[in-house]
C-alpha cells in the first residue's frame, strides 16, 4: 500500500472534522502511555491527548489534555508529526503529535486515563490503534513524520507515511491557530 493506488480519498482537498493531539513523554528508556478510558479509542492504549478546542493551538491543547488526563504538565514539547485519518465510521481526524522529555507533576490515574510507563522495547501495539506500528517506533527514534491513513472501521485499507525533515513540508498545520 503506497502512493495513491487503491485509495478513495482526495487528499489534496481533504479536511478533517476533528483536530486532535497526542503526546509521548520519554524518560529513562520508557514512554508514558495511557489506557484510554473515555472518548475516541476508549479501551485502547495510546499517548495522552485529545481534541483541540476552538481558539486553542495544538501545543496548548496537548498540554491541557496531559493536565486533564494525567495531572502532569509537559515542558518544551517538540512537534514530531501529523497524522491524517480518513475514517469510515467516525468523523475524520487530523492529529498533531508531540514528544517531550520533561514534565511537572506525578502521572496520576483520572476518570479519563490510567498512566502506563512502558519500556521502549515493550510497546503493546496489539492494544493500540493499527496505525501506531507504522510511525511510533521511528518517531521514538527521533524521526519526524507525516502519515495518512484510510481506515475501514479499525482496519487500515490504505496508508502513506513519510519520514525526515521533508515530511514536515507535508504538514497541514493547525488552521485554528490562525483563527486565534
Ligand atoms: C485512527 O487512528 C488513531 N490512531 C492514533 N494513534 N490515535 C488516534 C487515532 N484516532 C484518534 N486518535 C487519538 C487522537 C486523540 O488523542 C484521541 C481522540 O480524542 P478524544 O476523543 O480523546 O478527545 P477528548 O477531547 O479527550 O475527548 P472528549 O471529546 O470526550 O472530551 O485519540
The model's pLDDT over 12-50, given as tens digits with 9 standing for 90+, comes to 999 999 999 999 999 999 999 999 999 999 999 999 999
| pLDDT tens-place string over residues 67-104 | 999 999 999 999 999 999 999 999 999 999 999 999 99
Q: Which of 51, 54, 126, 149 to mutate to test the pocket of ligand 1 (most atoms within 8 A of CB)?
A: 51
Strand partners, 150: 86, 158
Predicted ipTM?
0.97
This prediction has a pTM of 0.95
Q: For residues 118 and 29, give the distance between their C-alpha atoms in angstroms, rounded to a whole number.
A: 9
| Start-to-end C-alpha separation, the chain | 38
Spell out the domains of the chain, with CATH numbers in brackets. 16-172 (3.90.79.10)
User: What's the count of helices (H) and strands (E) in the chain, helices before strands?
Assistant: 4, 11
Is residue 165 within 8 A of residue 144, CB to CB? The reply is yes
Q: Residue 94 C-alpha to ligand 1 middle, in angstroms?
A: 10
Return d(Cα 95, Cα 25) in angstroms, integer. 17
pLDDT tens-digit readout, 145-160: 999 999 999 999 999 9
In this structure, the number of other CB atoms found within 10 A of the CB of residue 111 comes to: 8
DSSP string, 64-106: HHHHHHHS-EEES-EEEEEEEEE-SSS--EEEEEEEESEEES-
Q: Which residues, listed in sequence order, are joined to residue 119 by a DSSP beta bridge?
A: 30
- Nearest 10 degrees: Cα torsion 98, 102, 108, 113: 10
Q: What is the mean pLDDT of the chain?
A: 94
Ligand 1 atom nearest the C-alpha of 95 is 14
Amino acid at each position: 500500500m503506497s502512493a495513491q493506488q487503491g485509495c478513495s480519498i482526495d487528499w489534496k482537498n481533504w479536511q478533517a472534522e476533528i483536530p486532535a493531539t497526542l503526546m509521548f513523554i520519554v524518560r529513562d528508556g520508557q514512554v508514558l502511555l495511557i489506557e484510554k478510558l473515555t472518548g475516541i479509542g476508549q479501551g485502547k492504549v495510546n499517548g495522552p491527548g485529545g481534541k483541540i478546542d476552538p481558539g486553542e493551538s495544538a501545543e496548548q491543547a496537548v498540554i491541557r489534555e496531559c493536565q486533564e488526563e494525567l495531572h502532569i504538565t509537559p515542558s518544551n514539547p517538540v512537534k514530531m508529526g501529523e497524522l491524517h485519518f480518513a475514517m469510515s465510521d467516525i468523523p475524520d481526524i487530523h492529529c498533531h503529535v508531540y514528544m517531550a522529555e520533561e514534565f511537572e507533576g506525578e502521572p496520576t490515574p483520572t476518570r479519563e486515563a490510567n498512566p502506563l510507563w512502558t519500556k521502549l522495547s515493550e510497546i503493546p501495539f496489539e492494544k493500540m490503534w493499527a496505525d501506531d506500528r507504522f510511525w511510533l517506533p521511528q518517531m521514538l527514534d527521533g524521526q519526524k513524520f507525516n502519515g495518512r491513513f484510510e481506515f475501514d472501521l479499525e482496519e487500515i485499507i490504505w496508508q502513506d507515511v513519510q519520514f525526515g525533515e521533508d515530511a514536515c513540508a507535508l504538514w497541514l498545520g493547525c488552521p485554528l491557530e490562525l483563527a486565534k
